Structure 1
């Protein structure tokens, strides 16, 4: 209308601000923009208190510890976690929700429901065990990887196995060394397959996608390549280069494009060779972890530490 003040407040929300029509954000339309990030540690603990206040909890339930084990979870994830834990406790005919119910619920939320009908051959199960053991062992040997909380070779969702790594605290900034360590850890599964079986399988597809994305961002967005230099080659529109998150600015030369590709390949190859070297130097530990996984299927972080102590695994003393 033509009234100066119609006493109407218009609110809008989106989780994809990058695709909004710029016309919507012009002055006089949506003037005030409020960013709501995922909750931090304290926020997650408070949200857990809200969703568990009407649920009977066992004395061993530690909401602060659960908050530490759920980095990146938003309110809906935490609500789902509490509901899943309650369902598991009810199915197990417990009078209260125990910490183990929450631990199992975290697995369900992160990795999906266990696929009991999915039959895996013994040969493939051995490969999966070595693959996951490779991830876990490399993560334990390098200095800046997140702690390993659990390893599993039980199929869940689309995954045949997984390694659950949880940071000690919420983190918002990452150094080049930390990203290189993350890449080395991601590539540890593929490296273990090649080392043990002298061939690779399609099981590392997701790992390669994740690793390539991290390496691309290091070169294109974070300025972490000495040859490319401290430059950001991404922008908000253009040809899709990193899926929905990053788009390559094609205003630069073909020579620069080739250099970017070379640097991404170099970073991935160096991290892959580093992972293989660490596994080769600690091959006894790799075998011991895989054998234990084949026996118990799920290996907790504490037990992993015990195994590494038994075989005398040697952590990397300096970044390669």
Structure 2
């Protein structure tokens, strides 16, 4: 028996595939779309050619009146007549128009045939061709409607295949070498990196865990404040492990069509299983995984169907071996408890704000490609930026580089970093904003009052800079304090000293001018918030005792609260709370008034310096502070 040639098809299916490929059916999606559009181009070309042909024929014919046509018939000056339902065409044989084709509108004339026979003129009839009219009146509008509908479906479904792609997951897929981020690009969150090293080890060497019967966590939830690097950390895990990385946002599952979100979840996990081992990363999980039952209208909505499908895919009857789900959120308190139980998101990794050493490490990463001057001290910059997260520090470095470029410098110096910090915190400096002398004097004494009180109380952060140059939208001046270390707790004495610093500006205005301005509105609001928290949350009231009077849930990472649950104390207790808040603020006010009264000379000296120089910092400020603290 003869053996098959290597080029012969091995099966009927392969032979059919080759035939389809030779006919253009086995090409890529792009080629199929080209063929699809080429059909419409071909149809359009036929219509255009037919229209051009009719126009050219019409241009070659002359249009005459029916009476003129009858006269030519009487003269025997026409031939080759073609009569259809609405028109008569033919050729003129005599006169100035000899050998010219003509056309005229047919009129109901019963004597026309007899007249033509009488003069021996040859004529023929023709049925009217309505094919082109049918195409133009039916097929063309239908084709336009289909194209318009397909355009709308593509806009709503987000895919090139219209309604067929509505249920497809719209994720970004990064191959092993496309992520390009490793743990070397992540700093300031060392504890979180250590937590995720185990995930990387499992993806690289799963036998190490499986031989002892261990199972890797199915899901890892990254929780932290915005900008702390949750997404960056997930990419670093994928880059270290060298596996495909599927990235989607929680809002990508939400659609106006019922059932689309669940279909996209199924499609996402189906593609992930085909590429296992891999990582699925869902950013802003709270858009998808909000606790069921929070919707006051009804519980069975599209979002809950999508969440139910996600729960099934994460821990259903089918095993997702090799597929690790990572998610990020800054609202963990509103997530559904079923998502957070073991077997789904087993491990919760807190991505906290970096401390001073972490901020320094982050600054070193972001300044790799920046030309720094010799006077730049990143440790000092880190100390000046308490509370800054990775995104803030990246923005800080960029702002400093832009300032240096604007000043035509070859290197970024410490002055640019300091100005960038002030710009981020206080806003853009507005040196051209004109203030009248009286307002400028009020602002000078206001900021001098803040600074002098901060120098006088024992638990306040050191004053780094005082300025009366307007910044941002409403800040007419500012007093910058630089903490000596990161703080995670505040004592009662420290909160009371902070109250005093906030009231320093208002008391200085009242003491010097005998009147007050609207410039202390933000100070009073912050002071009231501190006093209310001391009384209602921290149990720092001697009269009310060790009680907390608030049960309003607060976000751990966002400065917003949830819906209040209502007051759970009596009206008498509410009056006592108000009285305690007022007492704390009044005690701080009397204390500040005593400090500024006893040190009025330093207050006048500082305000006069600000009026002359607009900014007080550096050695002059340090010398003044030492004098104040010694008295």
TM-score (norm: length of structure 1): 0.90
Matches within 5 A, 1:123-138: 123-138=438-453
Residue aligning to 1:182: 498
- Report the Cα distance in structure 1 between the residues aligned to 2:521 and 2:338, rounded to whole angstroms: 40
- 1:192 is aligned to 508
Q: 1:111 aligns with which of 426, 445, 470?
A: 426
Partner of 1:38: 353
Quick check: 1:207 aligned with 2:506?
no
Distance 2:618 2:349 in 1: 39
Separation in 2, partners of 1:130, 1:174: 29
Structure 1: runs of 5+ lacking an equivalent: none
Query: Is 1:264 paired with 2:581?
Result: yes
- Please state if 1:296 is matched with 2:613: yes
Q: Contact 1:149–1:166 (CA<8 Å) still a contact in 2?
A: yes
**Shift in Å at residue 220 of structure 1?**
1.1
Asked if residue 6 in structure 1 is aligned to residue 323 in structure 2, the reply is no
Is 2:553–2:561's contact at 8 Å kept on the other side of the alignment?
A: no
| Partner SS state of residue 10, structure 1 | strand
**In structure 2, do the counterparts of structure 1 residues 250 and 285 end up closer, same or farther at CA, with 3 Å as the change threshold?**
same
**Alignment correspondent of 1:273:** 590
- Corresponding residue to 2:603 among 253, 266, 286: 286
The corresponding residue for 2:370 is: 55
Name the SS for the 2:347 alignment partner.
coil
Give the Cα separation in 2 of the matches to 1:22 and 1:209: 36
Distance 1:290 1:248 in 2: 47
Query: How many aligned positions are there?
Result: 310
Confirm or deny that 1:71 pairs with 2:390. Answer: no
Task: Map 1:141-180; keep pairs closer than 5 Å.
Answer: 141-158=456-473, 159-180=475-496
CA distance in structure 1 between the aligned counterparts of 2:608 and 2:523, rounded to whole angstroms:
22
The alpha carbon displacement at 1:303 in A equals 1.5
Which has the larger Rg?
Answer: 2
Change (3 A) 1:21 1:135: farther
Q: Give the TM-score, by structure 2 length.
A: 0.47
Give the superposition deviation at 1:286: 0.5
Q: Is the 8 A contact 1:135 1:185 kept in 2?
A: yes
1:83 aligns with 2:391: no
Which one is further off, 80-89 or 247-256?
247-256
By how many angstroms is 1:282 displaced?
A: 0.6
Q: What's the RMSD between the two structures over aligned residues?
A: 2.2
TM superposition shift of 1:295: 1.1
C-alpha distance in 1, partners of 2:337/2:590? 45
- Report how far residue 218 of structure 1 moved: 0.8
- Pair 20,298 (structure 1): closer, same or farther in 2 beyond 3 Å: farther
Q: Is the 8 A contact 2:455 2:629 kept in 1?
A: no
The superposition leaves residues 82-119 of structure 1 with CA deviations (integer Å, 9 ceiling, x where unpaired) of 11111111111111111111111111111111124432
Per-residue CA deviation, residues 25-49 of structure 1 (Å, 9 max, x unaligned), is 4555434322211100110000000
Higher mean C-alpha displacement, 179-188 vs 117-126: 117-126
Contact 1:234–1:249, Cα closer than 8 Å, also in 2 = no
| Distance in 1 between residues matched to 2:336 and 2:573, nearest whole Å | 30
The structure-2 alpha-carbon separation of the partners of 1:16 and 1:190, relative to structure 1 and needing over 3 Å to count, comes to farther
Distance 1:263 1:196 in 2: 29
Verify the 8 A CA contact 1:85 1:102 in the aligned structure 2.
yes
